[in-house]
Amino acid sequence: MDRRRLAVFLCGAAAFVPLYAPQSLLPLLRLFVGHNAAMAGAIVSAGTAGVALAAPFMGRLGDRLGRRNVITLAAFLAALPSLLSALAPTPALLIAARLLEGLALPGIFAVTVAYTADQWPPAEARPVTALYVAGTIFGGFCGRLVSGLIAEFSGWRLAFFGLAVLQLLLAVLIRAWLAPDRVQPRANGAARVPFTAPLSHPGLRAMYATGFMMLFALVAGFTYVSLRLADAPFLLGPGALSAIFVVYLVGALTTPVSGRLLNRYGHGAVLTGAWIAAITGLLITLLPSLALTIVGLALFSAGIFFAQTAATTFVGEAMPAARGAAVGLYVTSYYLGGSVGGVLPAPLWTHFGWAGVVALICTAGMMSMLVGRYGLRRPAPSRG
């Protein structure tokens, strides 16, 4: 793998290392917030809320200042909120630090997909975008594993400090290996296109809706399955919970294949098949077996990541004249879903347990699949 592609992979990793790491710390953080499930979920959701707020502006900033410049700066800035999280004296300040983390990360999230679409022609950009998604999977796994293992022996505060060190290392490598922009700032005409122009595209509107439901499903699933596995009969601690996220590696290994599937079958077919796999995996987790739960989570996460590749490649290709804005709006929708996913299932968890959360996620998955297929069948507007 050449360094240009490896740098894109590392961008995905840097974006996800700090974002979901609190999921493996939930048994300890739940004690810190006084056994309040909604407050514990808010620690995860605060980061995704920050991403949703900042993403549209970062997409435009990448158009104006250069995508490589924005990606590199964001990768370095993202280390600071992890240090603040380690020092937070109250739950409210910890949530505030997580919000800052989310505000820093869209410089990676909202810009890398557009950067990839600029650097390579579409048939080649799809496999590279799939590699970026594989990087996000790998980063999510590493963030959860590193934080969980450190917390097992040294507490959650040192876990956040370890995340900051890992983030800085990734930022240094990205700065060294990420290739210069091929499309110069302002050269793609984004400044002349209205910020809301992507909303006129039916396929993009559909991808914004399906993206919302994708991350809603992923965050809800892994947040509340962590609480389930921490309770009887499983009684897993932070270290064991972090090891559960090894299922992400299945997605990291299989997602690069999705680029070739997209070239062969198209976005709609891959999106549908991915959601069918994800829902099937989620239903398997209802069985009272730790081994089957792990198998189900592997299928669930791999399906979501295939769906994510289908959506992100379509968004990057659909409107070249407003690529930064289109990707920024997608990231906002995607992470709004993640923010809701950490909190909305709490009442269902309280009254119905894991089965209630699964029912909600399956409903979101079916809606995402139907909306996505419908939007992709509608004709695009005549303008670019």
Integer Cα distance of 17 and 137 in angstroms: 9
For residue 294, pLDDT beyond 60? yes
Domain ranges (residues) in the chain: 3-178+200-377
Integer Cα distance of 329 and 315 in angstroms: 10
Q: How confident is the model at residue 379 (pLDDT cuts 50, 70, 90)?
A: low
Residues 218-222 have a mean pLDDT of: 89
DSSP 21: G
Give the CA-trace dihedral at 75, 81, 84, 89, to 10 degrees.
-160
Q: How confident is the model at residue 64 (pLDDT cuts 50, 70, 90)?
A: confident
Q: What is the CATH number of domain 3-178+200-377?
A: 1.20.1250.20
**Angle formed by the axes of helices 67-77 and 79-87, nearest 10°:** 20
For residue 101, pLDDT beyond 50? yes
Q: What is the mean pLDDT of the chain?
A: 86
Residue recorded with tokens 């579409």 = 122
Q: So what's the pLDDT on residue 194? A: 62
Q: So what's the pLDDT on residue 285? A: 94
Burial 206-241 (b: 16+ CB within 10 A, else e): bbbbbbbbbbbbbbbbbbbbbbbbbeeeeebebebb
For residue 9, pLDDT beyond 90? yes
Integer Cα distance of 256 and 135 in angstroms: 10
Q: How confident is the model at residue 381 (pLDDT cuts 50, 70, 90)?
A: low
- 3-state class of 384 per DSSP? coil
Residues 324-341 have a mean pLDDT of: 83
Q: Could you tell me which of 125, 80, 110, 97 has the C-alpha nearest to residue 333?
A: 110
**Which of 50-54, 189-193, 349-353 has the weakest average pLDDT?**
189-193
The model's pLDDT over 233-288, given as tens digits with 9 standing for 90+, comes to 888 877 777 777 778 777 777 777 888 888 888 888 999 999 999 999 999 999 98
Q: So what's the pLDDT on residue 297? A: 93
Residues 368-378 have a mean pLDDT of: 83
Q: For residue 183, report the phi and psi dihedrals to the nearest 5 degrees.
A: -100, 120
Integer Cα distance of 29 and 32 in angstroms: 5
Question: Is-contact 326 208, C-beta < 8 A?
Answer: no
The model's pLDDT over 162-194, given as tens digits with 9 standing for 90+, comes to 999 999 999 999 999 999 988 766 544 444 556
For residue 68, pLDDT beyond 90? yes
Q: So what's the pLDDT on residue 1? A: 61
**Which of 52-56, 137-141, 196-200 has the weakest average pLDDT?**
196-200
Integer Cα distance of 114 and 324 in angstroms: 6
Q: So what's the pLDDT on residue 366? A: 94
Integer Cα distance of 73 and 52 in angstroms: 18
Give the CA-trace dihedral at 364, 203, 328, 359, to 10 degrees.
0
| pLDDT > 70: percent of the chain | 93
Q: How confident is the model at residue 73 (pLDDT cuts 50, 70, 90)?
A: very high
Q: So what's the pLDDT on residue 202? A: 84
Q: Length of the chain, please?
A: 384
Q: Which residue has the higher pLDDT, 154 or 339?
A: 154
Q: So what's the pLDDT on residue 384? A: 42
Distances (CA, A) of 26 to 32, 36, 132, 142, 301: 9, 11, 27, 16, 19
